[in-house]
Structure 1
Amino acid sequence: MMNNKDDLCSKYNPYLSFKSETANYINKNLITPKIKYFFDIRKIKKYAEVDSKNYISDLDFMSIKFSLFYTHLLQDINRDENGSIVLPIKYCITIDPFLCTKTCATTKIKYDEICLGKTPVLYYIFIDITEIMECARQSEKQAINVKV
Protein backbone atom coordinates (compact mmCIF):
# COMPACT_ATOMS: atom_id res chain seq x y z
CA MET A 1 0.00 0.00 0.00
CA MET A 2 1.10 3.54 -0.70
CA ASN A 3 0.69 6.15 2.01
CA ASN A 4 -0.63 9.54 1.05
CA LYS A 5 1.01 12.86 1.76
CA ASP A 6 -1.44 15.56 0.81
CA ASP A 7 0.82 18.56 1.47
CA LEU A 8 2.92 17.75 -1.63
CA CYS A 9 2.67 20.14 -4.59
CA SER A 10 2.83 17.30 -7.11
CA LYS A 11 0.58 14.29 -7.51
CA TYR A 12 3.63 12.53 -8.97
CA ASN A 13 6.24 13.15 -6.28
CA PRO A 14 7.32 9.80 -4.84
CA TYR A 15 7.99 10.76 -1.24
CA LEU A 16 10.41 8.48 0.59
CA SER A 17 11.15 8.61 4.31
CA PHE A 18 13.02 6.68 6.98
CA LYS A 19 13.38 6.94 10.73
CA SER A 20 15.78 9.70 11.75
CA GLU A 21 18.87 7.57 12.40
CA THR A 22 18.61 5.79 9.04
CA ALA A 23 17.76 8.98 7.15
CA ASN A 24 20.75 10.77 8.67
CA TYR A 25 23.04 7.88 7.72
CA ILE A 26 21.75 7.83 4.12
CA ASN A 27 22.12 11.61 3.81
CA LYS A 28 25.64 11.59 5.26
CA ASN A 29 26.98 8.56 3.39
CA LEU A 30 25.14 8.61 0.06
CA ILE A 31 23.15 11.68 -0.84
CA THR A 32 25.33 14.54 0.45
CA PRO A 33 28.57 13.16 -1.07
CA LYS A 34 26.84 12.49 -4.39
CA ILE A 35 25.35 16.00 -4.53
CA LYS A 36 28.68 17.58 -3.57
CA TYR A 37 30.53 15.59 -6.26
CA PHE A 38 27.90 16.54 -8.86
CA PHE A 39 28.21 20.27 -8.13
CA ASP A 40 31.99 20.23 -7.58
CA ILE A 41 32.46 18.93 -11.14
CA ARG A 42 30.43 21.91 -12.36
CA LYS A 43 32.43 24.28 -10.14
CA ILE A 44 29.21 25.32 -8.38
CA LYS A 45 29.95 26.20 -4.76
CA LYS A 46 26.55 27.48 -3.60
CA TYR A 47 23.39 25.45 -4.03
CA ALA A 48 20.32 24.62 -1.99
CA GLU A 49 17.82 21.80 -1.91
CA VAL A 50 14.20 22.56 -2.70
CA ASP A 51 11.97 21.31 0.12
CA SER A 52 10.80 17.88 -1.00
CA LYS A 53 7.13 18.77 -0.55
CA ASN A 54 7.61 21.45 -3.25
CA TYR A 55 9.05 19.11 -5.89
CA ILE A 56 7.23 19.03 -9.19
CA SER A 57 7.57 16.58 -12.04
CA ASP A 58 7.38 16.97 -15.79
CA LEU A 59 3.75 15.83 -15.57
CA ASP A 60 2.94 18.92 -13.48
CA PHE A 61 4.26 21.57 -15.86
CA MET A 62 0.98 22.14 -17.69
CA SER A 63 -1.15 22.29 -14.56
CA ILE A 64 1.07 24.02 -12.01
CA LYS A 65 0.73 27.75 -11.42
CA PHE A 66 3.74 29.87 -12.38
CA SER A 67 3.66 31.40 -8.90
CA LEU A 68 5.04 28.09 -7.59
CA PHE A 69 8.16 28.58 -9.73
CA TYR A 70 8.57 32.09 -8.42
CA THR A 71 8.01 31.14 -4.79
CA HIS A 72 10.39 28.19 -4.74
CA LEU A 73 12.90 28.84 -7.52
CA LEU A 74 13.10 32.44 -8.63
CA GLN A 75 12.48 34.53 -5.52
CA ASP A 76 16.17 34.37 -4.55
CA ILE A 77 17.40 36.07 -7.73
CA ASN A 78 19.40 39.13 -6.73
CA ARG A 79 22.33 41.33 -7.70
CA ASP A 80 25.84 41.07 -6.30
CA GLU A 81 27.94 44.05 -5.19
CA ASN A 82 29.00 44.63 -8.83
CA GLY A 83 25.40 44.75 -10.03
CA SER A 84 25.56 41.39 -11.80
CA ILE A 85 22.50 39.18 -11.59
CA VAL A 86 22.92 36.16 -9.31
CA LEU A 87 20.81 33.10 -10.10
CA PRO A 88 20.83 30.81 -7.06
CA ILE A 89 21.14 27.13 -7.93
CA LYS A 90 18.57 24.73 -6.48
CA TYR A 91 18.24 20.99 -6.72
CA CYS A 92 15.74 18.22 -6.10
CA ILE A 93 16.59 14.63 -5.28
CA THR A 94 14.40 12.21 -7.19
CA ILE A 95 13.94 8.47 -7.39
CA ASP A 96 11.95 8.95 -10.61
CA PRO A 97 14.27 8.02 -13.50
CA PHE A 98 11.90 9.62 -16.03
CA LEU A 99 12.78 13.08 -14.68
CA CYS A 100 16.48 12.65 -15.44
CA THR A 101 17.24 12.28 -19.15
CA LYS A 102 20.92 13.27 -19.00
CA THR A 103 23.95 11.50 -17.56
CA CYS A 104 26.98 13.45 -16.40
CA ALA A 105 30.00 12.18 -18.35
CA THR A 106 32.29 12.57 -15.34
CA THR A 107 30.15 11.54 -12.36
CA LYS A 108 27.79 9.17 -14.21
CA ILE A 109 24.97 10.73 -12.17
CA LYS A 110 21.63 10.95 -13.99
CA TYR A 111 20.14 14.43 -13.88
CA ASP A 112 18.16 17.05 -15.72
CA GLU A 113 17.83 20.78 -15.39
CA ILE A 114 15.46 23.70 -15.73
CA CYS A 115 17.11 26.78 -17.17
CA LEU A 116 16.37 30.47 -17.07
CA GLY A 117 17.60 31.46 -20.49
CA LYS A 118 20.62 29.21 -20.90
CA THR A 119 21.53 29.14 -17.20
CA PRO A 120 20.44 26.17 -15.09
CA VAL A 121 18.53 27.24 -11.98
CA LEU A 122 17.15 23.86 -10.92
CA TYR A 123 18.70 20.42 -11.18
CA TYR A 124 16.85 17.15 -10.75
CA ILE A 125 19.38 14.62 -9.46
CA PHE A 126 18.50 10.94 -9.62
CA ILE A 127 19.36 8.61 -6.77
CA ASP A 128 18.52 4.99 -7.50
CA ILE A 129 16.20 3.45 -4.92
CA THR A 130 18.47 0.39 -4.90
CA GLU A 131 21.41 2.56 -3.77
CA ILE A 132 19.23 4.08 -1.06
CA MET A 133 18.16 0.68 0.23
CA GLU A 134 21.73 -0.63 0.14
CA CYS A 135 22.82 2.36 2.21
CA ALA A 136 19.91 1.88 4.64
CA ARG A 137 20.92 -1.75 5.11
CA GLN A 138 24.53 -0.70 5.64
CA SER A 139 23.29 1.67 8.33
CA GLU A 140 21.64 -1.25 10.12
CA LYS A 141 24.77 -3.41 9.82
CA GLN A 142 26.84 -0.61 11.27
CA ALA A 143 24.38 -0.13 14.14
CA ILE A 144 24.58 -3.86 14.95
CA ASN A 145 28.40 -3.74 14.93
CA VAL A 146 28.39 -0.78 17.31
CA LYS A 147 26.14 -2.68 19.77
CA VAL A 148 28.36 -5.79 19.74
Structure 2
Amino acid sequence: MPPDQRVRFISYLNPNLALGRDGARAVIRNLNESGLVWIRRDRGPGAFSLLHETDNYGLFWSGKGDPLGLCPFNPDDREHYCTADLLGAGRWPWFALNNHDHSHVADVDHSGTTSGTNVIAWTWYSTAQPEDNQVWRMETL
Protein backbone atom coordinates (compact mmCIF):
# COMPACT_ATOMS: atom_id res chain seq x y z
CA MET A 1 0.00 0.00 0.00
CA PRO A 2 1.40 3.47 -0.84
CA PRO A 3 2.58 5.60 2.11
CA ASP A 4 -0.40 7.97 1.77
CA GLN A 5 -3.62 6.63 0.33
CA ARG A 6 -7.12 8.09 0.11
CA VAL A 7 -9.59 5.73 1.79
CA ARG A 8 -13.11 5.56 3.15
CA PHE A 9 -14.30 3.33 6.04
CA ILE A 10 -17.70 1.70 5.54
CA SER A 11 -19.81 0.59 8.51
CA TYR A 12 -20.88 -3.04 8.70
CA LEU A 13 -24.14 -1.97 10.36
CA ASN A 14 -25.23 -0.30 7.17
CA PRO A 15 -23.20 -0.31 3.93
CA ASN A 16 -24.65 3.11 3.12
CA LEU A 17 -22.85 4.66 6.11
CA ALA A 18 -19.19 5.56 6.52
CA LEU A 19 -16.80 7.07 9.05
CA GLY A 20 -16.89 10.85 8.69
CA ARG A 21 -16.47 13.86 10.95
CA ASP A 22 -18.62 16.37 12.76
CA GLY A 23 -16.46 19.18 14.10
CA ALA A 24 -13.91 17.54 16.37
CA ARG A 25 -15.63 14.13 16.52
CA ALA A 26 -15.65 11.02 14.39
CA VAL A 27 -19.21 10.15 13.35
CA ILE A 28 -21.18 7.94 10.99
CA ARG A 29 -22.35 9.76 7.85
CA ASN A 30 -24.36 8.81 4.78
CA LEU A 31 -22.06 7.92 1.91
CA ASN A 32 -23.41 10.74 -0.26
CA GLU A 33 -22.31 13.36 2.30
CA SER A 34 -18.97 15.13 2.08
CA GLY A 35 -16.16 14.70 4.60
CA LEU A 36 -15.84 10.93 4.38
CA VAL A 37 -12.40 10.69 2.81
CA TRP A 38 -9.37 9.97 4.99
CA ILE A 39 -5.66 9.84 4.21
CA ARG A 40 -4.21 6.55 5.42
CA ARG A 41 -0.57 7.14 6.35
CA ASP A 42 1.56 4.06 7.10
CA ARG A 43 3.34 4.06 10.47
CA GLY A 44 5.29 0.82 10.33
CA PRO A 45 4.30 -2.85 10.29
CA GLY A 46 0.52 -3.04 10.52
CA ALA A 47 0.08 0.48 11.93
CA PHE A 48 -1.27 3.62 10.27
CA SER A 49 -2.66 7.05 11.05
CA LEU A 50 -5.85 8.54 9.62
CA LEU A 51 -5.84 12.19 8.62
CA HIS A 52 -9.01 13.92 7.56
CA GLU A 53 -8.71 14.87 3.89
CA THR A 54 -9.85 18.48 4.24
CA ASP A 55 -7.38 19.57 6.93
CA ASN A 56 -4.39 18.41 8.97
CA TYR A 57 -6.49 16.81 11.71
CA GLY A 58 -5.92 13.19 12.65
CA LEU A 59 -8.18 10.59 14.20
CA PHE A 60 -7.41 10.52 17.92
CA TRP A 61 -8.23 7.75 20.42
CA SER A 62 -9.24 8.54 23.97
CA GLY A 63 -10.80 6.57 26.84
CA LYS A 64 -13.42 3.83 26.68
CA GLY A 65 -16.83 5.23 25.80
CA ASP A 66 -15.42 8.56 24.59
CA PRO A 67 -16.08 9.62 20.99
CA LEU A 68 -13.10 9.18 18.71
CA GLY A 69 -11.81 12.68 18.24
CA LEU A 70 -9.96 14.74 15.69
CA CYS A 71 -7.14 17.03 16.69
CA PRO A 72 -4.09 18.62 15.03
CA PHE A 73 -2.04 15.73 13.72
CA ASN A 74 1.17 14.89 15.55
CA PRO A 75 2.99 11.97 13.87
CA ASP A 76 4.81 11.18 17.14
CA ASP A 77 1.64 10.81 19.22
CA ARG A 78 0.74 7.12 19.57
CA GLU A 79 -2.91 8.09 20.16
CA HIS A 80 -3.05 8.86 16.42
CA TYR A 81 -2.06 5.27 15.52
CA CYS A 82 -4.50 2.59 14.36
CA THR A 83 -4.39 -1.01 13.20
CA ALA A 84 -6.89 -2.97 11.14
CA ASP A 85 -7.25 -6.50 12.48
CA LEU A 86 -8.82 -8.88 10.00
CA LEU A 87 -11.61 -11.14 11.18
CA GLY A 88 -10.63 -14.19 9.16
CA ALA A 89 -11.14 -15.38 5.61
CA GLY A 90 -14.88 -15.88 6.08
CA ARG A 91 -15.31 -12.22 7.05
CA TRP A 92 -13.05 -10.61 4.42
CA PRO A 93 -12.92 -7.61 3.81
CA TRP A 94 -14.34 -6.67 7.24
CA PHE A 95 -12.00 -5.84 10.15
CA ALA A 96 -11.81 -4.29 13.60
CA LEU A 97 -10.27 -0.79 13.67
CA ASN A 98 -8.05 -0.82 16.77
CA ASN A 99 -6.09 1.80 18.65
CA HIS A 100 -2.31 1.52 18.93
CA ASP A 101 -2.26 -0.90 21.91
CA HIS A 102 -5.36 -2.91 20.94
CA SER A 103 -7.20 -1.88 24.11
CA HIS A 104 -10.13 -0.32 22.18
CA VAL A 105 -11.85 -0.61 18.81
CA ALA A 106 -13.92 1.87 16.82
CA ASP A 107 -17.53 1.21 17.83
CA VAL A 108 -20.70 2.85 16.50
CA ASP A 109 -22.31 4.24 19.65
CA HIS A 110 -25.33 2.14 20.72
CA SER A 111 -25.41 0.55 17.24
CA GLY A 112 -26.90 3.75 15.83
CA THR A 113 -27.67 3.70 12.13
CA THR A 114 -28.40 7.37 11.49
CA SER A 115 -26.10 10.00 10.09
CA GLY A 116 -24.33 11.88 12.89
CA THR A 117 -24.04 8.95 15.30
CA ASN A 118 -20.80 9.07 17.32
CA VAL A 119 -18.02 6.58 16.74
CA ILE A 120 -16.55 5.75 20.15
CA ALA A 121 -13.64 3.80 21.62
CA TRP A 122 -14.89 0.55 23.17
CA THR A 123 -13.67 -2.86 24.27
CA TRP A 124 -13.56 -5.48 21.50
CA TYR A 125 -16.28 -8.07 22.00
CA SER A 126 -15.08 -11.11 20.09
CA THR A 127 -13.31 -12.12 16.91
CA ALA A 128 -15.49 -15.24 16.67
CA GLN A 129 -18.76 -13.33 17.12
CA PRO A 130 -17.99 -9.67 16.39
CA GLU A 131 -20.67 -7.10 17.03
CA ASP A 132 -21.83 -5.41 13.82
CA ASN A 133 -21.18 -1.97 15.29
CA GLN A 134 -17.47 -2.79 15.71
CA VAL A 135 -16.76 -4.01 12.18
CA TRP A 136 -15.53 -1.92 9.23
CA ARG A 137 -14.44 -2.21 5.59
CA MET A 138 -11.78 0.01 4.01
CA GLU A 139 -12.38 1.22 0.47
CA THR A 140 -9.57 2.85 -1.51
CA LEU A 141 -10.45 5.85 -3.66
Structure 1-normalised TM-score? Answer: 0.27
Structure 2-normalised TM-score? Answer: 0.28
Q: Return the structure number with greater strand share.
A: 2
Computing the radius of gyration from Cα coordinates, the structure with the larger value is 1
